[in-house]
Each structure stands twice: as C-alpha cells, then as structure tokens.
Amino acid sequence: MTQTNLSIQQMRDIAVAALEDIKGKDILALDTTKLTSLFECMIVATGDSNRQVKALANNVREKLKEAGAEILGMEGEQTGEWVLVDAGELIVHIMLPAVRDYYNLEQLWGGQKPVFNPLGKAWQSAIQADLDD
C-alpha cells in the first residue's frame, strides 16, 4: 500500500472532482474495505469516447499526483476503452459505456449499475450516499 498524507476520503474527493472537470458520467465510488485488502475505494466512471476516457484518466492521475498521492500505474490508455488508474488505496476505472455495461464492475463489487433516468437527475447509489455523508 502507498503511504501518502492524504486520507482515502481526500483521494476519493480529488478523483471525483477530476472526473467531473472533464464531464465524466455516472461516477460511482464504492467503499471496498470490507471486500478486499488490496484497496479501500474503487471509483467507476463513464466517458463518451476513447479520447474522453483517456482525458478523464489523465486528469485523475495529474490531480492526485499534484495533491501528493503516489500513482502506482495506469493501464489501458493506448486504446481508451477502459483505463485504470492505480493510486494504491484508490483504484479508478474509466470506461466507454459498452465496456462498462459488459463488465458490470458495480455488481461484482457490491454497488448498483446506473440506469437510464428520464428526469435527468444525477444518479447515486446508496453506498455513494453513505460516502458523501
């Protein structure tokens, strides 16, 4: 595990803000502390195009680095269909919609998959609501 002066909540907030800056969609943060010892929080987000997925991942990496977090690695930036940013205690997955639908990481890790919302309000899982409090 990486040692930083940032709490996992600070890292999560920085990553979510970085995703929002580049208009990431359906951003979901899951607390994984009870599910694995590998990392404490996983964020999943969607980008509309390969270019946006790459930009989202790059922004997350840069904002976390600026705040003092150590980035252990980044995978998938060549194709931009699914990019993973590994910041030790925090893992960020950014995917194209079809890739996110296919792999359904939210269900694997105990979250809920975003669904079409005709009212246009931001989607939020119960776990996300708990993290926000």
Q: Which residue in 37, 38, 24 sits closest to 93, CA to CA? A: 24
What average pLDDT does range 75-84 have in this prediction? Answer: 94
What domains can be seen in the chain, in order of their start residue? 8-128 (3.30.460.10)
Q: What was the pLDDT predicted at 127?
A: 47
Higher pLDDT pick, 123 / 49: 49
Residue 30 sits at φ, ψ, to 5 deg, of -115, 130
Residues 6+ apart with CB under 8 A from 26: 44, 45, 46, 100, 114, 123
What average pLDDT does range 109-114 have in this prediction? Answer: 55
> Which band of pLDDT confidence, cut at 50, 70 and 90, is reported for residue 1?
very low
